[in-house]
Amino acid sequence: MSTKTLPKITDELENFLKTYKDKGGSLKYRMRISQMASRGSRSLVVDIEDLQMYDVDMANRLINEPDEVLSSFNDAVYRTLKNEAPAYAKTIRESLHEKARESLPLVEVRIRNMTDKLSLRQIGTEYLDKLVSVTGMVVRASELKPLIVEAAFRCRKEHITYEKQSDMVLKRPTVCDEFSSGCKSTKFELDMKNTVFVDYQIVRLQELPEELPPGQLPQALDVSLQRDLVNTARPGDRVVLTGIIRAEAEYSRGAGKLRVFRSKIDGNYLEAVGKEPEMIQITEEDETIIHEIASQPGAYERLIESVAPTIHGFETQKEAILLLVAGSPQRIMPDGTVIRGDVNVLFVGDPGTAKSEMLKYAARIASRGLYTSGRGSTAAGLTAAVVREKTGMMMLEAGAVVLADQGLASIDEFDKMRPDDRNALHEMMEQQTVSVAKGGIVATLNARTSILAAANPVLGKYDRYRNISENLNLPIPLLTRFDLIFVLRDIPDRARDERLARHVLELHRKGEYVKAPSIDFNLLHKYILYAKKICPVLTKEAEEKILEYYLDMRKTGSESMITVTPRQLEALIRLATARARIMLRDKVTEEDAMRAVSLMSRMLETVGVDVKTGKMDLGVLHGRPLSERNLLVAALDVFKTLEGPKKNPVEGKVFIDELVKTGKFTQEDAQRMLQTLNRSGQIYEVKPGFYRKL
C-alpha cells in the first residue's frame, strides 16, 4: 500500500483529472468538469476503471481507504474546476459560509463501474469502512429530511459555537468557544439560522429475487443518501449502488449503546439498472440461435411445447402463458393517456389440475417474476404500504406488483384473498399504477405488471350447470379485467387418465423430463427477454381480421345481450401483438390475429356461454346473462302485481306459486328466485314468510 501524504494524493488526482484521455483522445474529465457550470452540478461521476488504468495503487487505495482518498479527490475536482470555470467555482464557495466549507465538500466525486459487485449477503465485517458496489432492489424509501452536518449553538451571552456532527444523535458542545475570554456558559440553544443542513433520505435495499438462495430470507440493508443522490430511486427500482459500509450502533432504552452494531451503507453513487429487467447477457451466439428457432416451421408450436414441460397437456393454457410473459408494448398517447400492454390471465379449476405448478413456472420463466399466494397476501403486501421506522421517519414500502414492475406477478389461491385486499388490485390491473395516500405520503408508483391468477370453484369442483360468476367467489369488476379466463376441469376419461398417469409415473421413475423440451429453460428465458425488446405494429390485414371477428360477435343475440365489449377488442389486439413479438416480428400479421381470435374463441366457448340457453352471452362475466335478467324482470313484475297499489306485504308461498304459473319457473327455480331477490336487497322480510319491495 502506498504511503503518500494527502496533499500528494490530491496533486496526483488533479493530474489524473486534467490529463486522462478516453479512447477517442479527448480529455474526458476536463470536459465533464467544464460542463458542471452549465448543468449547475456539484458532483462529478468518475469511472473507477479509468483510475485503475491511470494508477492501480491509487484505485486500490480508494477502495480500501475511501474516506481519505475521496476527500482528496473532492479537493482535486474543485481545484480543476477553478481552472476550467472560475466564476462557477467562486459561486459554489460563496454559497456556503466559512464553517460549512469545513464540514461539506464544495464538490463531490461519485464513483461508478466497479468491476467486483457484491451481493448484500456477502457484506461482512471485512468490508467495514471500504468502498463497495452492490446490486439490489429498492423496497422502501423514506421522505426527504434535512440533516445537520455542522450545528451552530448559541450560549446565553449570544456567542456562537460550532459542533461538527457525524452521528445520528445530535452532539452538543461542553463549553462555549469564547471560554478563553471569560464566557463560562455550558447551556446552549440550537441556532437554526447558522446551522448547516443537507438533504437526507434513507432507502432500503434488498437482494434481487433471482439471486436469493433457495430457502433463505432476503437480506436487506439501509442506505443513507445525501445532497444530489436523494430521490434518485423509487420503491421497485433495481439499482447498482456504490457506497462505504458503516457500522451503526444499536441503542436500548436505559442501557444506551449496545455491543451489537448493524451494517448500513453511506451512498456515494446510485444508478437504476435501466429498462432491462434483468442483468442477463444475451450474446451474439444466443441471438443467432434465437433467430434460428423463430425462422423454423412450427416454431410457435415448439415454443408452446417448451412451456412447463413437466405438466402433461393443457396446450391452450400454455399458449396463454407464453403470450402473457411476452406481453405487448405499452402505448403512451400524446396527452399522457396510457394504454395497457400487459396481458392478465385467470385459471379456474378443480383441485389437482396443476394450476399452482403453471403459476410457479411462469414466475420463473418471466423476465421479472414474483409468486405469491392469496392466503398470505394483504393489500399492503401486494401494492404498497407506508411504514413508520424506529427513528420516526415514514417510509414507502413497495408491494409485490410494484416489485414485479415490467414483469409478472403470479397470485395463487386468488379466491382465498380477503375482499378488501383483492379490491386493491382494481387500479393496478387496468391503470397499471398503485396510488398511496397514507401518513402524509401521497404517491403513485408504476405497476406495469401482468397478472396470472389461479382460483378454485366455490363448491370445490367446477359445476358445469352453473355460470362462471356463480362458480367463482370473485367480484364482477375484477373478473372483467382478465383478458383470458380458462376453466381447468378434471373429468374422468379412461384414455386421457392413462396418458396422464403414465406421464407422472415416468417422471418420477426417470427423475427428469419424460420428453425433453425442444427449447431448454435457459434458452427460452433468453428468448423471451430478447422478444420483449420488439415493438410490433398492427398491419391492415391484422386489423381487418380482428375487426371482422369483433363485429361478428357483436351482432349475435338480441340488443340486450352482452356478447363482446371493447375490453375484449383490446385483449385481442394485445394477444395478436404478443404473438408477433414471440415470433420476433415487428409487424402483426394476419396469422397473429387469427391465433389471437382462436385463443379468445376457445375461452368464450367455455366461460362465455350461458348454461341455461347454451348461447354465447358475456353477461355471465358481467353479472347476469340475458336469460337470468329476463327471469328477474318477470319475477319483479309478478311481485308488483301481487302487492297491488297499496304495497301490501306478499306471502312467499303465494309468490312462488304465481311464478310457477307463468311457466317460466320450476318450483325449485321459483324458490331460488325468492332467495336471490331477498339476498340482493330488492325485497325484504317484514314478518316471517311475508315480503315487501324495497
pLDDT of 655 higher than 80: no
The pLDDT value given to residue 512: 72
Half-sphere exposure of 213 (CA within 13 A, CB side): 6
Query: In 3-state terms, what secondary structure has residue 586?
Result: coil
Buried b or exposed e, range 207-242, using 16+ CB within 10 angstroms: bbbeeeeeeeebbebbbbbbeebbebbbbbbbbbbb
pLDDT of 136 higher than 70: yes
The pLDDT value given to residue 6: 62
* Alpha-carbon separation of residue 547 from 231, 401, 482, 540 (angstroms): 46, 33, 20, 10
> N- to C-terminal Cα distance for the chain?
88
| Of 297, 337, 305, the residue nearest 321 (C-alpha) | 305
Task: Kindly report the backbone phi and psi dihedral angles of residue 527, in degrees, each rounded to the nearest multiple of 5, phi listed first.
Answer: -60, -45
Check: CB of residue 518 under 8 Å from CB of residue 302.
yes
pTM: 0.67
The pLDDT value given to residue 680: 66
C-alpha cell read off for 498:
392413462
pLDDT digits (tens, 9 = 90+) for 438-473: 666 777 777 788 888 888 888 777 777 777 777 777
Counts for the chain of helices (H) and strands (E), in that order: 25, 27
Percent of the chain with pLDDT over 90: 0
pLDDT digits (tens, 9 = 90+) for 550-575: 887 777 555 545 566 777 888 888 88
> Which position has the higher pLDDT, 596 or 559?
596
Distance between CA 6 and CA 48 in Å, rounded?
19
pLDDT digits (tens, 9 = 90+) for 388-414: 766 666 667 777 777 777 788 888 888
> Which position has the higher pLDDT, 253 or 634?
634
Question: At 87, which amino acid appears?
Answer: A
* Alpha-carbon separation of residue 645 from 397, 639, 640 (angstroms): 59, 12, 8
Lowest mean pLDDT among 109-118, 342-351, 595-604, 663-672: 663-672
| Of 413, 384, 387, 421, the residue nearest 399 (C-alpha) | 384
| Of 171, 222, 221, 165, the residue nearest 198 (C-alpha) | 165
Check: CB of residue 582 under 8 Å from CB of residue 591.
no
Distance between CA 91 and CA 37 in Å, rounded?
10
pLDDT of 62 higher than 70: yes
Neighbours of 260 (CB within 10 A): 9
Helix/strand/coil percentages in the chain, nearest 5? 40, 25, 35
Q: What is the mean pLDDT of the chain?
A: 77
pLDDT of 277 higher than 50: no
**Per this entry, what is the length of the chain?**
694
> Which position has the higher pLDDT, 368 or 279?
368
Distance between CA 3 and CA 61 in Å, rounded?
10
Mean pLDDT across 244-267? 77
pLDDT of 257 higher than 80: no
Helix H, strand E, coil C: the string for 164-178 is: ECCCCCCCCCCCCHH
Q: Can you say whether residue 466 is alpha, beta or left, with left for phi > 0 and alpha for psi between -120 and 50 degrees?
A: beta
Task: Please give the DSSP secondary-structure letter assigned to residue 119.
Answer: P
Mean pLDDT across 536-563? 75
Q: 464-470 long-range CB contacts below 8 Å, 24 or more apart?
A: 464/489, 464/611, 465/611, 466/611, 467/610, 467/611, 467/620, 467/625, 468/348, 468/607, 468/620, 468/621, 469/620, 469/621, 469/623, 469/624
| CB-based burial label for 479 (10 Å; 0-12, 13-18, 19+) | buried
Residues 6 or more apart from 347 whose CB is under 8 A from it?
Answer: 317, 355, 358, 359, 452, 453, 454, 455, 486, 488
Check: CB of residue 208 under 8 Å from CB of residue 173.
no
Mean pLDDT across 47-54? 80
| Of 305, 303, 321, the residue nearest 313 (C-alpha) | 305
* Alpha-carbon separation of residue 117 from 112, 114, 128, 241, 242 (angstroms): 11, 7, 16, 9, 9
Give me the residue label for grid cell 452494531.
Answer: 261
pLDDT digits (tens, 9 = 90+) for 6-19: 677 777 777 777 77
Residue 650 forms beta bridges with which residues?
691
pLDDT of 480 higher than 70: yes
pLDDT of 276 higher than 50: no
Question: At 256, which amino acid appears?
Answer: G
pLDDT of 612 higher than 60: no
| CB-based burial label for 189 (10 Å; 0-12, 13-18, 19+) | exposed
pLDDT of 287 higher than 70: yes
The pLDDT value given to residue 26: 77
The pLDDT value given to residue 558: 52
Task: Please give the DSSP secondary-structure letter assigned to residue 128.
Answer: B
Confidence of residue 489 (pLDDT cuts 50, 70, 90): confident
Helix H, strand E, coil C: the string for 597-626 is: HHHHHHHHHHHCECCCCCCECHHHCCCCCH
- Interstrand relation of 690-693 and 683-687 (parallel, antiparallel or unpaired): antiparallel
* Alpha-carbon separation of residue 558 from 483, 562, 566, 615, 692 (angstroms): 24, 8, 18, 11, 32
pLDDT digits (tens, 9 = 90+) for 156-207: 777 777 777 777 778 787 777 776 666 777 788 888 887 888 888 888 888 8
The pLDDT value given to residue 358: 85
The pLDDT value given to residue 275: 40
Check: CB of residue 299 under 8 Å from CB of residue 592.
no
Distance between CA 69 and CA 89 in Å, rounded?
21
The pLDDT value given to residue 615: 58
Q: Domains in the chain and their CATH numbers?
A: 6-113 (3.30.1640.10), 118-272 (2.40.50.140), 284-491+503-607 (3.40.50.300), 626-693 (1.10.10.10)
Q: Which span out of 22-26, 95-99, 185-189 was modeled with the highest average pLDDT?
A: 185-189
Neighbours of 34 (CB within 10 A): 16
Buried b or exposed e, range 510-520, using 16+ CB within 10 angstroms: eeeeeeebbbe
| Of 436, 435, 433, the residue nearest 446 (C-alpha) | 433
Give me the residue label for grid cell 401483438.
Answer: 577
Confidence of residue 238 (pLDDT cuts 50, 70, 90): confident
pLDDT of 487 higher than 80: yes
Helix residue ranges per DSSP H, 378-488: 379-382, 400-403, 419-423, 425-431, 468-471, 476-479
pLDDT digits (tens, 9 = 90+) for 289-338: 888 888 888 888 888 888 888 877 778 888 888 888 888 888 888 887 77
Give me the residue label for grid cell 436523494.
Answer: 230
The pLDDT value given to residue 588: 87
pLDDT digits (tens, 9 = 90+) for 342-383: 888 888 888 777 788 888 888 888 877 778 877 666 666 777
Check: CB of residue 449 under 8 Å from CB of residue 428.
yes
C-alpha cell read off for 170:
445530535
Distance between CA 274 and CA 401 in Å, rounded?
18
